[in-house]
Amino acid sequence: MRRLIAGGLLLAMTSSPAFAQRLGVPPADTLTAEQRAAMEEFRKQRGVGISGPFEPMLWSPEAMIRAASMGTYLRYKSVYPPNLSELIILIAGRSWSQQYEWSTHYPIALKAGVSKEIAGAIAEGRRPSGMSEDQEMVYDFTTELIQNKSVSDATYARVLAKFGEKGVIDAISITGYYTLLAMVLNTARTPPEPGVPLLPPLPR
């Protein structure tokens, strides 16, 4: 596998056996009416065809379209602005070492206002420096939830005071949703987008 270093992150060609996809989209000539309806509903929701985790999820079309509906809310309509929701997504993707999720959301996060330094620290498994107060709050909430399976009273209180009960649930939901997608992608071995930053191995 050819590797290059750019911006402190590992770049890799996707010809590696580690990215040999084992669960892709169902063949077009075998699609059921339910699968076709789910694909059409997805297009109505997102304005594009299915890709990424939604391709293997199409094998269970109702699960796919229900997940997509939840994702539409969490990604575009939650209480969190994109610079915070994308931070949560990066943390969730890193926790599962999910290359497709990272390769897709890394550029989105940068465009939303997450700095390269913060994203790079997350990629390397480090607590970023230079975060805003809101970013620190979201980082603490998400990492505690993933690592400790809960959050401390102090962290909970900070999120509650700033974003209310809805913010607590939305943060949990974004974390859980992108954990679901990461599990699908890791199991399906969906290859990452080519030519974009990938996650380096975490230090042991």
Compute the distance between CA of residue 94 and CA of residue 191 in angstroms, rounded to an integer.
16
pTM for the model stands at 0.88
CATH of the domain at 182: 1.20.1290.10
Within a domain: 37: no
Within a domain: 182: yes
Q: Is 93 exposed, middle or buried (0-12, 13-18, 19+ CB in 10 A)?
A: buried
Task: Give the DSSP letter string of 94-129.
Answer: HHTT-HHHHHHHHHHHHHHT--HHHHHHHHTT-PPS
- Residue 101 is encoded by which pair of tokens? 């999720």
pLDDT score at 19:
59
- Residue 103 is encoded by which pair of tokens? 């390769």
Within a domain: 190: yes
Within a domain: 47: no
SS3 11: strand
Within a domain: 164: yes
Within a domain: 118: yes
pLDDT digits (tens, 9 = 90+) for 173-203: 999 999 999 999 999 999 998 877 789 988 7
Range of the domain at 89: 82-198
Within a domain: 51: no
Sheet containing 197-198: give its strands across. Answer: 3-6, 9-12, 197-198
Domain count, the chain: 1
pLDDT grade, residue 114 (50/70/90)?
A: very high
pLDDT digits (tens, 9 = 90+) for 165-177: 999 999 999 999 9
Compute the distance between CA of residue 90 and CA of residue 189 in angstroms, rounded to an integer.
18
Calculate the dihedral angle through the C-alpha atoms of 122, 144, 114, 4, rounding to the nearest 10 degrees: 20
pLDDT digits (tens, 9 = 90+) for 48-100: 999 999 999 999 999 999 999 999 999 999 999 999 999 999 999 999 999 99
Q: Is 92 exposed, middle or buried (0-12, 13-18, 19+ CB in 10 A)?
A: buried
Percent of the chain with pLDDT over 70: 91
Within a domain: 163: yes
